[in-house]
């Protein structure tokens, strides 16, 4: 089990948040809190890079939805990059793969 680590970097299209470790009940609030520190301008894109995410429970999924809501409140876009297969399966089951734009990696997500 790896603790949650969140790093933020700027990209030409907006911000990229890299999520590493487990996004679950014990730390999903940390992602929601960090979102409030990410300033987005209309037309920009917030990318959540999930390549290093080991696990995501329902609280983590809720935090991903909160990220989408944060971006849309700023009239910005939001995308998920490098979604692990176990999380992609859950997104597909609940239909969120139709809501979140999905990209193979953060480079592709910031170029589109």
What are the sequence ranges of the domains in the chain?
5-111
CATH says 5-111 is which class?
Answer: alpha beta
- Report pLDDT for 2: 75
- Report pLDDT for 112: 74
- Report pLDDT for 30: 96
3-state secondary structure the chain: CCCCEEEEEEECCEEEEEEEEEECCCCHHHHHHHHCCCCCCCCCEEEEEEEEEEEECHHHHHHHHHHHHHHHHCCCEEEEECCCHHHHHHHHHHCHHHCCCEECCHHHHHHC
Per-residue confidence in pLDDT tens, the chain, 112 aa = 678 999 999 999 999 999 999 999 999 999 999 999 999 999 999 999 999 999 999 999 999 999 999 999 999 999 999 999 999 999 999 999 999 999 999 999 999 7
């Amino acid at each position: 089990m790896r603790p949650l680590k969140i790093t933020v970097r700027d990209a030409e299209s907006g911000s990229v948040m890299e999520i590493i470790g487990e996004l679950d009940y014990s730390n999903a609030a940390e992602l929601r809190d960090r979102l409030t520190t990410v300033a987005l301008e209309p037309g920009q894109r917030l990318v959540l890079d999930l390549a290093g995410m080991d696990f995501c429970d329902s609280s983590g999924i809720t935090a991903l939805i909160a990220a989408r809501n944060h971006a849309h409140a700023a009239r910005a876009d939001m995308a998920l990059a490098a979604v692990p297969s176990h999380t992609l399966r859950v997104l597909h089951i609940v239909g969120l793969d139709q809501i979140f734009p999905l990209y193979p990696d953060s480079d592709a997500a910031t170029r589109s």
